[in-house]
Amino acid sequence: MIRPCVEICRAVQMVHKKSSTNDIGVRVATAMQQLGIEGLPRNYELVYEAYAGTNPDLVRDFIALGKYKTQAALDELGRKYLPHQHEASVLQRSAGVVRDEMSNFMALLDEEKTSLTDYGRLIGEASQAIVGADGGPATALGASIEALRRATERRATENAAMTASVSAHAEALDGLARELAEFEANKFLDVATGLGNRRAFNKAVARAYADLDEPDACAVVIAEVDAAKRFSPRQMEALGPYLVGHFGSLIRQAFPSGDIAARFDGLRFGFLFQTGDESQVLRLLVLLRSAFQAAALRHPETGRGLGTLSFSAGLCMTEHAGNAFDLLNLGEKALAQAIAEGGDRVVVHREKAASRGKDWMLYRAS
């Protein structure tokens, strides 16, 4: 596992010692306060990603900012590693590129119009010389034909140049289209597993509470693979990428297409089941557990069998949570209880929903 940012770890140690919960959100928020980072949603997500350590390049660049981090420097990191935070600037830049390309194309059309006008004038003069009734001298006819020949050659050269220029502009626009398509495809994707990421999951959960008075009937499950019981921290560091890919693939194959699966960080995953039937969710988790038990692990280098791993999970239904924040928080607490009880189990939170107050989720339904 990538070593987290030293500064953030030091900042959250005091909170971690004082609290028996595993609320990473509280620890990150406290770390931001101690580091003097303004409590903006985009800053919270950036610090969360750096603390999780899943992106070593982000961790390295975050540390390189030094002890005092300006908002401009944080935003620059956000544009590089969390581009969805700056969608407006991406779209503005895209609109600017399109506008410039269209201006260039219009200029080319104006040049073409001028050239065609000159070409038409020359042809008209040549035609008058050829069919004119005044019976001009042969030298005038020859001169007109030569002028027409030169105009034709010049027109061919200009057309070739314009074709090449338009082709270059078309390639620029194609590149922009590819860039936007890649941006749209990746901003809510976890590249290591092919599942959604935490941002996609938060957005989907917020969408379930678009109507706070009557939210969609859904179930949130937050799960963590029980790898810490089997492997030492050193082994986890070596096996981390393999385990992430292995379990990500299992989840992707076993998960129902109508529901949502996402990887949060490390070996923690989130599931959003589009059903209000708790027993059905538990049956789906049993099927997922069977998939885990059927797919044996093998050391990525030696091929040695490593057995199988189970997972712990916390389950909460929307009927027991007043808003999206509570739903996720209660799922996290249920997971913490499952881990505290030895793992390899599902803990279900059942409690009457609190008043449906303001939703403090970072991502609201669009």
Widest pairwise Cα distance in the chain: 111
Closest C-alpha to 237, from 54, 28, 86: 54
Q: Compute the residue count for the chain.
A: 366
Q: Give the separation between CA 222 and CA 328, rounded to whole angstroms.
A: 8
> What is residue 51's predicted lDDT score, i.e. its pLDDT?
76
Determine the average pLDDT of the residues in 48-75.
82
* DSSP state letters, 77-119: HHHHH-GGGGHHHHHHHHHHHHHHHHHHHHHHHHHHHHHHHHH
In a shared domain, residues 202 and 285? yes
Mean pLDDT of the chain: 76
| Residue 241 belongs to domain with CATH number | 3.30.70.270
Total domains in the chain come to 3
126 — pLDDT class (breaks 50, 70, 90): low
Beta carbons of 357 and 323 less than 8 angstroms apart = yes
Last residue of a domain, one of 81, 110, 144: 81
Enter the tokens of residue 40. 């903006």
Kindly give, in sequence order, each residue whose CB lies less than 8 Å from that of residue 258, ignoring residues fewer than 6 positions away: 274
Kindly give, in sequence order, each residue whose CB lies less than 8 Å from that of residue 68, ignoring residues fewer than 6 positions away: 36
Determine the average pLDDT of the residues in 159-167.
70
In a shared domain, residues 287 and 166? no
In a shared domain, residues 221 and 324? yes
Put simply, whether the predicted model's pTM sits higher than 0.85 gets the answer no
Q: Give the separation between CA 198 and CA 119, rounded to whole angstroms.
A: 62
Determine the average pLDDT of the residues in 231-258.
87
Q: Give the separation between CA 154 and CA 111, rounded to whole angstroms.
A: 13
Give per-residue pLDDT as tens, 278-315: 999 999 999 999 999 888 898 888 888 889 999 999 99
In a shared domain, residues 344 and 233? yes
In a shared domain, residues 37 and 64? yes
Instruction: Examine residue 281 and state whether it is found in any structural domain, yes or no.
Output: yes
Instruction: Examine residue 192 and state whether it is found in any structural domain, yes or no.
Output: no
Instruction: Examine residue 259 and state whether it is found in any structural domain, yes or no.
Output: yes
Instruction: Examine residue 357 and state whether it is found in any structural domain, yes or no.
Output: no
Instruction: Name the CA dihedral angle for 202, 207, 212, 214, rounded to a multiple of 10 degrees.
Output: -130
In a shared domain, residues 64 and 111? no
Instruction: Examine residue 249 and state whether it is found in any structural domain, yes or no.
Output: yes
Range of the domain at 122: 87-186
Beta carbons of 218 and 324 less than 8 angstroms apart = no
28 — pLDDT class (breaks 50, 70, 90): confident
In a shared domain, residues 167 and 298? no
Instruction: Examine residue 191 and state whether it is found in any structural domain, yes or no.
Output: no
* Chain CA centroid to CA 316, Å: 26
In a shared domain, residues 13 and 104? no
Determine the average pLDDT of the residues in 66-88.
76
In a shared domain, residues 212 and 336? yes
Residues facing 268 on adjacent strands: 224, 265
In a shared domain, residues 77 and 98? no
Tell me how crowded residue 331 is: count the other CB atoms within 10 A of its CB.
26
Beta carbons of 274 and 205 less than 8 angstroms apart = no
In a shared domain, residues 149 and 265? no
Q: Give the separation between CA 219 and CA 284, rounded to whole angstroms.
A: 12
In a shared domain, residues 225 and 97? no
The DSSP 8-state label assigned to residue 318 in this structure reads G
Determine the average pLDDT of the residues in 39-50.
80
Q: Please, what's the b/e burial string for 31-55 (b: 16 or more CB within 10 A of its CB; e: otherwise)?
A: bbeebebeeeebbbbbbbbbbbbbb
Enter the tokens of residue 165. 């220029």
Last residue of a domain, one of 81, 99, 124: 81
- 277 or 182, which is more confident? 277
Beta carbons of 162 and 108 less than 8 angstroms apart = yes
Instruction: Examine residue 179 and state whether it is found in any structural domain, yes or no.
Output: yes
> What is residue 18's predicted lDDT score, i.e. its pLDDT?
41
Instruction: Examine residue 359 and state whether it is found in any structural domain, yes or no.
Output: no
Last residue of a domain, one of 186, 206, 228: 186
> What is residue 23's predicted lDDT score, i.e. its pLDDT?
57
